[in-house]
């Protein structure tokens, strides 16, 4: 079976949305799982970020989403985010924070 975590639901640091990747992988491997032609049971897992919640590291094949670039910040929008402390705390590099600039004024 293929397992994945829904990072966009609960994770503060997702690098990818698991659903699309899992669907693409399962479309390719579906015949192997239904025909039982593999020599043993195989567990494939996808983690949305380096935290690897959901025991992804215990799988036979693990697919991992990794951040490649720092996030682009929309300074106008982030100043109005209701959960600003969570948005700021989610960035491991501290790059997400309100800018010290004057907007529309």
Tell whether pTM > 0.75.
no
* Residue found under tokens 């989610």: 90
Assess contact for 19 and 6: CB atoms under 8 A. yes
The pLDDT tens digits for 23-37 are: 888 888 888 888 888
* Residue found under tokens 């079976």: 1
Q: Which of 27-36, 51-60, 65-74, 78-87 bottoms out in mean pLDDT, i.e. has the lowest?
A: 78-87
pLDDT at residue 6 greater than cutoff 60: no
Of 103 and 41, which is predicted with more confidence? 41
């Amino acid at each position: 079976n293929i397992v994945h975590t829904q990072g966009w639901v609960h994770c503060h640091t997702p690098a990818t949305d698991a659903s699309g990747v899992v669907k693409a992988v399962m479309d390719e491997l579906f015949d192997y799982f239904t025909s039982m032609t593999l020599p043993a049971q195989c567990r494939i897992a996808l983690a949305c970020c380096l935290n690897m919640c959901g025991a992804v590291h215990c799988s036979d094949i693990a697919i991992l989403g990794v951040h490649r670039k720092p996030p682009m910040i929309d300074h106008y929008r982030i100043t109005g985010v209701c959960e600003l402390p969570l948005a700021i705390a989610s960035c491991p590099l501290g790059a997400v924070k309100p800018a010290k600039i004057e907007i529309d004024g």
